[in-house]
């Protein structure tokens, strides 16, 4: 009960702050209530503040409960995705092939991330941390194949935590910058669907805040991309990313150990 009250207070405070914008030259970065909610919970979770009632709120039991049942909170959001896609379905189908091609972008975590991870000293941890963006699909695969107590498991868990804490903030700031550089708003909306509901929401919301007139198109493209990534991303990971990662790991690390 205490956790629910705390969540309600954080949401209320974040919504009260509302959408705030900062201009850096021609770049306008909009900070959404979602960003404030994450920042508030991150700051209050620091050890120096985690005392008294906050210590009970951030107890291991509450943290495990939140992680375990996060999917149930996301289900209504997934249903909303479908509702957003439907009005624009004909427009989306006309550029449907582009949605499929973007799935190959997920291989970049292996092509680019794995060599860098090996270079900075990671070994088996690199397998878990570079298979994808560390969301539920990669977490499930690594936990089934290696268990989360393994080096690979620690790698994917580290990426999952980092993505949860900083991914939303990163996407909220990056999208307005890319708009100012001349990127197509439709392309940015499509690229928002990386497989993370929170990151997609942050990216698409920032786009809508920047270009309100194209709000319905942005939401539809981002939602369609997210749905496709959630479905196709698993097959891309298993049949393309995993074999490629094994080959590169053996090539980069002597003996593949």
23: which strand partners? 28
Q: Is the pLDDT of residue 61 over 70?
A: yes
Q: Give pLDDT, residue 257.
A: 63
Residue span of the structural domain in which 191 resides:
88-256
Domain membership flag for residue 140: yes
Q: Which of 68, 97, 112 is the last residue of a domain?
A: 68
Q: Contact at 8 Å (CB) between 223 and 84?
A: yes
106 and 213 co-located in one domain: yes
Indicate if the pLDDT at residue 81 is higher than 70.
no
Look at residue 84 in the predicted model and tell me its pLDDT.
64
Domain count, the chain: 2
Average pLDDT, the chain: 81
Rounded distance between C-alpha atoms, residue 110 and residue 93, angstroms: 29
Band (80; pLDDT cuts 50, 70, 90): low
Q: Is residue 80 part of a domain?
A: no
Classified as helix, coil or strand, 69 is: coil
Cα separation of 153 and 166, whole Å?
A: 20
User: Domain check: are 53 and 127 in the same one?
Assistant: no
* Tokens linked to 42: 């991150």
Give the pLDDT confidence score for residue 88 in this predicted structure: 64
* pTM (2 d.p.): 0.69
Residues in the chain: 257
Please compute Rg for the chain using Cα positions.
Answer: 19
Q: What is the pLDDT of residue 248?
A: 92
User: For 147-200, what is each residue's pLDDT tens digit?
Assistant: 877 888 888 888 877 876 777 778 878 888 888 888 888 888 888 888 777 788
Task: Please tell me which residue, 41 or 68, carries the higher pLDDT value.
Answer: 41
Same-domain status, 127 and 63: no
Answer yes or no: are the C-beta atoms of 30 and 38 closer than 8 Å.
no
Whether 81 is covered by a domain: the verdict is no
The last residue of one of the domains, among 37, 68, 99, is 68
Residue 76 within any structural domain of the chain = no
**In a shared domain, residues 114 and 216:** yes
pLDDT at 243 > cutoff 90: yes
The closest of 251, 185, 246, 170 to 218, measured between CA atoms, is 185
From residue 37, alpha-carbon distances to 14, 29, 125, 212, 235 in Å are: 6, 17, 30, 23, 33
Q: Is residue 166 part of a domain?
A: yes
DSSP assignment string, 193-211: -SS-HHHHHHHHHHHHHH-
Would you place residue 236 in the very low, low, confident or very high pLDDT band (cuts 50, 70, 90)?
confident
For 128-147, the pLDDT digits (tens) are: 899 888 776 787 788 888 88
């Amino acid at each position: 009960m205490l956790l629910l009250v705390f969540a309600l207070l954080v949401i209320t405070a974040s919504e009260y702050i509302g959408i705030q914008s900062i201009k850096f030259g021609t770049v306008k970065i909009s900070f959404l209530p979602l960003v404030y909610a994450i920042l508030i919970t991150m700051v209050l979770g620091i050890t120096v503040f985690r005392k008294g009632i906050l210590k009970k709120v951030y107890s291991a039991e509450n943290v495990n409960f939140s992680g375990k049942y996060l999917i149930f909170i996301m289900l209504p959001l997934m249903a909303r995705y479908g509702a957003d896609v439907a009005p624009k379905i004909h427009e989306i189908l006309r550029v449907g092939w582009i949605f499929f091609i973007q799935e190959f972008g997920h291989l970049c975590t292996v092509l680019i991330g794995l060599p860098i991870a090996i270079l900075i000293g990671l070994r088996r941890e690199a397998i878990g941390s570079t298979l994808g963006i560390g969301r539920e699909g990669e977490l499930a695969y690594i936990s089934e194949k290696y268990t989360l107590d393994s080096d690979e498991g620690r790698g994917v868990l580290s990426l999952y935590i980092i993505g949860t804490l900083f991914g939303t903030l990163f996407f909220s700031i990056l999208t307005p910058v890319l708009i100012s550089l001349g990127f197509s708003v439709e392309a940015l909306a499509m690229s928002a669907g990386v497989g993370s509901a929170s990151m997609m929401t942050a990216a698409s919301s920032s786009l809508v805040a920047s270009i309100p007139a194209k709000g319905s198109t942005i939401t539809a493209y981002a939602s369609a991309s997210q749905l496709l990534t959630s479905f196709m991303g698993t097959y891309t990971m298993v049949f393309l990313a995993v074999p490629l990662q094994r080959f590169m790991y053996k090539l980069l690390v002597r003996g593949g150990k």
